[in-house]
Chains A and B, each alone.
Chain A
Amino acid sequence: MLRYLTKRLMLLVGIVFVISVGSFYLIHLLPGNPATVILGFGASPEAKAILYKQLGLSKPIYLQYFVWLGNILHGNLGISFISQTTVSSVIRSALPIDAEIIILSQIMAFAAAIPTAMRSARKPDGIIDRVLGATSFTLLSIPPYILIVVLVLFISIKLGVSGTGPSAYVSLGTDWITNLESLSLPAFTLATVSFVVYYRILRSDLIATLQEEFITMARSKGISQRRIMWCHAFRPSSVALLGAASVNIGGLLAAGFVVQYLLQIPGLGYTLILAINESDFLVVQGIVLTVSVLVVAINFFFDFVINMVDPRISRE
């Protein structure tokens, strides 16, 4: 177990390193002088000089990386051009929103996917199974942003509600009812996308597990169908589910960005896109770095959990 963990940890370090190099290099993809582009043409020569020094732009490129890395490790991600506050504070205020949306969406997705997948696996090719299968396939193909457009259309026209906009969002601490209200739409959209993936994967894995001999043995012990599903079939199949969750959540962060932007919820996604449009490059770089590291960290967390559920994996 320990050897497995250390191997994975080393891999994690390697990946984070690659991410850092990639994020660092982004600035140099910009056409022209980075300092000019970042600060804009109207910037004063002093501001340019400070930035020059900060980024170490006069030095050769590999040294620049270390200058940059040093800054990062001190928590200094630069200054946001738009808001004139530090990038790290921008990120710090936006991140909890993304976290909440994702958590909410996953709770909904799992709560819906697990019972339905169990049901479908017990009676494959029944009516419910077929309907769910066709629906999920269709939904899988529809991009989340289209779902949003459709939902927004539906909600604003039919129900006459608008409750979106940066002012509509309120943090949990202040007023949790409005908070949940404002986040329900993005959470629901992400939940739908996740549900579809989880349902299909869990169902197919359950069907495979249910054909195994130990299920027949459990049956022969005289225990109930429900117990067989939940205590015997679910656990081996949950590995596949957790694997799917791991991959899915990484993709969700990105899908969530678009959704946030459409609904004007001030999470990382919204901030990122605004920054792109306003050419606030340091913010973009900061968010890309943060999100990438987070995604990788989440993946590794899930790896760990999977290992706890099914110890066979680390024993190999």
Chain B
Amino acid sequence: MSDDKLLVVKDLTTTFATAGGDLPAVAGVSFDLARNETLGIVGESGSGKTVLSRTIMGLQPRVNTTVSGSSIIDGFEVVGASENEKRTIWGTEVAMVFQDPMTSLNPVMRIGKQIDEALRVRLGMNRKDAKARAIELLELVGIPSPDQRYNAYPGQLSGGMRQRVVIAIALACSPKLLMADEPTTGLDVTIQAQILNLLDELKERLKMSVILVTHDLGVVATRTSRIVVMYAGRIVETGTTRDVFYHHRMPYTRALLESSPKVANKSHTRLVTIPGRPPNLLSLSDGCSFAPRCKYATDQCHLVRPELQPSVEPGHTFACWNPLPINAEATLP
């Protein structure tokens, strides 16, 4: 059976050399992604999810950064590849949609030109064809009057429009894998839904795999088939979306689910929070990183880091010494 995965990540580790010492932003992450599959990477700020998304495609900063492990996109090994080699897959195999469209678009370059650039440099199109294709792309992402907007500067567009442009640029060379790093954080709530729906639509049409990186569980609930939960640079639970929502074992996952406010709650219901703060990655202790904040923590949790172990359902793993009982339920937000 040809196990033809689009992305295979094994033991990926990213370490930053900072003034305060070595910072392991991502440690020992392994998972894979099939074609046409959508995966959600979920975690709080500082969990390492953004660094992970960039390291997977080799876009991590070039200075003071060490990467080990393996990340193979459609047969291409990203870790250890030179910048020139990586450039061959950027845009055409894998592309990224960044979080803040105001800062991810060049403010002094017209948006049409920014789309053209990808087409002409990577696909070798001439000016006329590139412009035509760019306008097609603008239309594809739902921008009205694309031929007029083609000449606009980013500052002249609204936040939602800008993000659509960013998506258009990412799709320009028809990548097989799309990384969306918090694509809707910072946008108005109504626009958020629009953009996410757009992404859904596009991935169907263009037959892409998508990795959705976010802290917002609501975003991944209905749009992903599998979820990876990250904490302090490591995967603490992973499985199908259903399993993670309904059959999670790791207390952190439970805490995350409980802390998203639910519309169905009565007004003035207290917001549930996770006490404490994420750990300082520069001085990680030996045990489980979540232990200081976990209400089920035992001595073992503080002393020894738990490895990922399988749960009942196939493909569902978690890392915990005192997991929640099987079939523990939580409601979908």
Contacts and interface: CB of A to CB of B under 8 A. Distances in A.
Contacts of A222: 87-92, 118, 121-122, 173
Interface stretch (A66-74, A136-144, A212-220): A212-220
A214 B105 contact: yes
B129 interface: no
B52 interface: no
Interface in B78-109: 83, 87-92, 95-96, 98, 100, 103-109
B109 A235 contact: yes
Contacts of B121: 221-224, 227
B46 interface: no
A225 interface: yes
Nearest to B59: A220
A3 interface: no
A200 to B, nearest CB: 21
Nearest to B62: A219
B155 interface: yes
Contacts of A236: 106-108
A214 B103 contact: yes
A232 interface: yes
A212 B108 CA distance: 13
A314 to B, nearest CB: 12
A223 B59 contact: no
Nearest to B115: A221
A312 interface: yes
A273 B119 CA distance: 60
A311 B90 contact: no
Contacts of B88: 222
Q: Which size class do B's interface residues fall under?
A: 20 to 34
B277 to A, nearest CB: 26
Nearest to A311: B153
Contact of B118 (A213, A216, A221): A221
Contacts, number: 74
A223 B92 CA distance: 11
B166 interface: yes
Contacts of A158: none
Tell which of A212, A221, A227 has the most Cβ of chain B within 10 Å. Answer: A221
B107 A225 contact: no
B57 interface: yes
A266 to B, nearest CB: 43
Contacts of A225: 83
Interface string B161-191: 0000010010011000000000000000000
Contact of B108 (A216, A217, A312): A312
Contacts of B100: 213
Contacts of A221: 90-91, 95, 117-118, 121-122, 169, 172
Contacts of A212: 103
Contacts of A310: 108
24 contacts: A212-B103, A214-B104, A214-B106, A217-B105, A220-B57, A220-B59, A220-B90, A221-B117, A221-B118, A221-B172, A222-B90, A222-B92, A222-B121, A223-B117, A224-B87, A232-B106, A235-B108, A236-B107, A236-B108, A309-B108, A311-B108, A312-B107, A312-B108, A315-B155
Q: Which 6 A-B pairs have the closest CB atoms?
A: A222-B90, A222-B91, A213-B103, A217-B104, A213-B104, A214-B106
Interface of A: 212-214, 216-225, 227, 231-232, 235-236, 309-312, 315
Given A217-B166, A222-B91, A310-B108, 8 more contacts: A213-B103, A216-B104, A218-B117, A221-B90, A222-B173, A224-B121, A236-B107, A312-B108
Interface of B: 57, 59, 83, 87-92, 95-96, 98, 100, 103-109, 117-118, 121-122, 153, 155, 166, 169, 172-173
